[in-house]
Structure 1
Amino acid sequence: PGSAPDFSRNPMKKMVQVQVGSLVILDCKPRASPRALSFWKKGDMMVREQARVSFLNDGGLKIMNVTKADAGTYTCTAENQFGKANGTTHLVVTEPTRIILAPSNMDVAVGESVILPCQVQHDPLLDIMFAWYFNGALTDFKKDGSHFEKVGGSSSGDLMIRNIQLKHSGKYVCMVQTGVDSVSSAAELIVRGSPGPPENVKVDEITDTTAQLSWTEGTDSHSPVISYAVQARTPFSVGWQSVRTVPEVIDGKTHTATVVELNPWVEYEFRIVASNKIGGGEPSLPSEKVRTEEAAPEIAPSEVSGGGGSRSELVITWDPVPEELQNGGGFGYVVAFRPLGVTTWIQTVVTSPDNPRYVFRNESIVPFSPYEVKVGVYNNKGEGPFSPVTTVFSAEEE
């Protein structure tokens, strides 16, 4: 016994969605015995075979290179000697999704804000979803909200990156998905910053006025280091000061420079600051503290003067030499004086480096008479210069 066509076990699809230009097959496979013959209508019109449209042996309808005009409701009627039945499928034809403004490779500095565009043209029938991948990982806008934000309207998935950091260098992919297709576009972002701190700062050699330093470079933050500045600090300085160096040498990753014009017998520590096109970076950690070697003093006391005092006294005063200019241990003063017109100097030693005066007492001193006076310096390493000669008067009569 035979049976009429019946779609209940194998219903036709309610809707088939395809893109313009693709190939589509609409199935029509009811149960029937003997096999049913099918014919197709689109709306009220019979479908005829033509260049793009053909009927398949199993009753299906094949349309190649689909156009928007092919969209509509297709009905398949199946018939044998026991009866007939029909089913319908709605064909939806959509325009392909296209990225019309894609992100491009960018080169930016730390702290800037950038927008990576991702704008699409898509069929209004389709819902659209944007996603961004950074170095292969899906961006989580809740978690990375301090830097990443999606901006733009419904057809735009622009990515804004605020206050960009070195860690944001890499590959960004905008992925656009609809129910029928997906497209993506990628861009590389290079973030450049000021250099990282130089490392391993060491004092390799020290003399009385020079120090040879070595260090290795830190990270260049995608922009090569152009220069290094050496800074020094002593117990007498206010913070870090730049110091003069003779040109450095680069041997592989190790740099050396000789600091010049240091003061003898002073404790120094050094640090290095690297600069590139973006700017100066964080300073290195300081070197260990080192003391320059001793040398004979080079600076005489200033403001040598005097006068006054009691009868038979010659009072001589000066500004003591500060510790950082004493150049060594065992520092003191040599006070020399002579009555105006006399050729030989009387000399005496003052052993305290902080002492600002010396008083010569002698009954033979004539009241209020002029003396030539000069004050020199010495330390463990030898004698230094005298101050210029100045005239000082002995005490007056009481």
Structure 2
Amino acid sequence: RESDHRAWTPVSYTVTRQNATVQGLTEGKAYFFRISAENIIGMGPFTETTKEIVIRDPITVPDRPEDLEVKSVTKNSVTLTWNPPKYNGGSDITMYVLESRLIGKEKFHKVTKEKMLDRKYTVEGLKEGDTYEYRVSACNIVGQGKPSFCTKPITCKDEIAPPTLDLDFRDKLIVRVGEAFSLTGRYSGKPAPKVTWLKDDTVVKEDDRTKIKTTPTTLCLGILKSVREDSGKYCVTVENSTGSRKGFCQVTVVDRPSPPVGPVIFDEVHKDHMVVSWKPPLDDGGSEITNYIIEKKDAHRDLWMPVTSATVKTTCKIPKLLEGREYQIRIYAENLYGISDPLISDEMKAKDRFRVPDAPEQPIIKDVTKDSAVVVWNKPYDGGKPITNYIVEKKETMATRWVRVTKDPIFPSTQFKVPDLLEGCQYEFRVSAENEIGVGDPSPPSKPIFARDPIAKPSPPVNPEAVDKTKNSVDLCWQPPRHDGNGKIIGYLVEYQRVGDEEWKKANLTADSCPETKYKVTGLTEGLTYKFRVKAVNAAGESEPAYVPDPVEVKDRLEPPELILDANMAREQHVKAGDTLRLSAVIKGVPFPKVSWKKEDHEVSPKADIEVTGVGSKLEIRNTVHEDGGIYSLTVENPAGSKTVSVKVVVLDKPGPPRNLQVSEVRSDSCYLTWMEPEDDGGSVITNYVVERKDVASAQWVAISSSSKKRSHMAKYLMEGTQYLFRVAAENQYGRGPYVETIKPIKAIDPLHPPGPPKNLHHVDVDKTEVSLVWNRPDRDGGAEITGYLVEYQEDGADEWIKFQTVPMLDCVVTGL
């Protein structure tokens, strides 16, 4: 039992020896013990210890300290560290004693003066170059224990080594939120380097979660229960007087994303589906969002129904809704590390919430002319669906029926120029907007306007100048005003002033007498100098005058003729027969030259129209024929000289008739035609010849060749004995020329030869004045049926044969002998 307790506690019931070990006692407490013997009858009386026994280990001096090491050496100090002895002798260490011995001496001398419990000590005040060895002993209440093993001899001198850094972590580290992580490594260097930790270029400070531990050889940064904000680029710097080393690690603390950013926007709401959109989470948890999970819930029920978990876009169509029910939408973001808290929408009723657009405000009318006006309006509310078209209508103020101004769509512009107004009529306009639901109400009608041009005075004419002069006239020209005042320019007023006079005189009394941008001022006095100015006039009045820059002296000027040829006066002009030939040129010269046209040095045809103006001349021949071709010349002449130009005119026409049509080699079924090319090919190459034939008994010509380029043709497939006429025409790219025809019909028969002589002529009877003769047919008939036999007789001894007669048969009686 404990000395301060009365109750005894059994230790063992089965001890058969005369000793026992009592365990489980508390060190430092006092105990009493008692022992009793036992046999089968029972337990005998106890014998008790006479005094209390205090429990403690037996005490000796400590063992020797371990691991005595030299940590640093300078020229006048040495720093040593050691570990406690394995056994403290049963009593706490009360102090350590450090001793040193100068090499060459025998005895160790105590270095520590005071009671020292630290296991690190720096020996100072040493002499540079001396060599020492050290040992350390531990002391407890019993006394001083054995000294440790001596260090190696240490010479006092400064040690220098650049820093080294050996890290246990890689360039990148990914950590889950809530987990701890540490960045560790080893370093060295002399003198001992300084260790600095940075995060994103900011010094890391210790706090409840951030711990920094640095020993002379190791370094460690530890962060407990990491959060997303612990992500960043960490840098450890080890630096001493000889240099520095750095190590880096990009730490990413990953977590599930934050919720998507609301509110949930209902882009479209229909009776059976909705389209919603949202914004991505502000924090993706350090890992890309892989998908969103969308759920829907009837607002009057507690059950969330999945819509999709596969969308990666921040918009989604919510289908299969019941019209009239209210729904909530719940959206989660998901990444590799989990699912975010949800974003929950407001309640939204499933119904078609779109309608036709509102009526626009009253339109404004501007830029009115006699036949058009610009209608301008503001865009109205679109009814929830984008406006696709505007409808502009017009009506005369006194009418009741509105008419659309165009069938074409008007969008997105909010103004439209209405054409086709009737000058002088009064109009009102209104506008309606249209979306996919339908057409909205029209706007209030615009203020009535009259369709007429607003007129102001025109601006002055532009660049007036004197372009020609004679001894009593000056020709002026100018360009129209830049602004006509929205009214038609009626004409121009030209005024002149003699230099030195104050009065301006009118060259023309009314503007309509000078409608063009030129005028010849006449009635001037030769040798005097004049100033000129021009005003433009419209219905609103006269413009400010525009002045000819320099005064003009009135006198004749002499310029030789000059011809500026138009394109139709190129060296060779081709014109198709029947078309109009036009030759023209601009003529210059002072005085204006005399103009004459010639064709191959003769007067041109009376059918030619020749026009001479103050600036040029034109020759025109309508319905040209081939004979109108040739060399045309234009001559201009004045006292200063003359000039002539020529142009070759080719009238392109159908060719003339072929020449010398001949028929030869007539057979019973064919004949051979030949001809010569036309004298006139129409100015174009002969492309082919057309050959036709006609039975004399028929009125119809039949083509037998239409593509032959040769000047001959074999007419085949004739009917024997039939008489034919043939004709040939030439063709070029402008058509077919006239035909040349055979003069007389050609009969399709083989060529005839005289028949052979009759055979076997002999007499069969003789009288005093007549002889009866018979004979046989000849061997050949010459290609035609024998029509008769010519019978001749001759007196014996005479030279001439006398014709008797021609008989059709093979016999004859010659009489009159």
Task: Normalising by structure 1, report the TM-score.
Answer: 0.45
Which structure carries more relative contact order (alpha carbon 8 Å, separation 6+)? Answer: 1
Task: Normalising by structure 2, report the TM-score.
Answer: 0.23
Larger Cα-atom Rg: 2
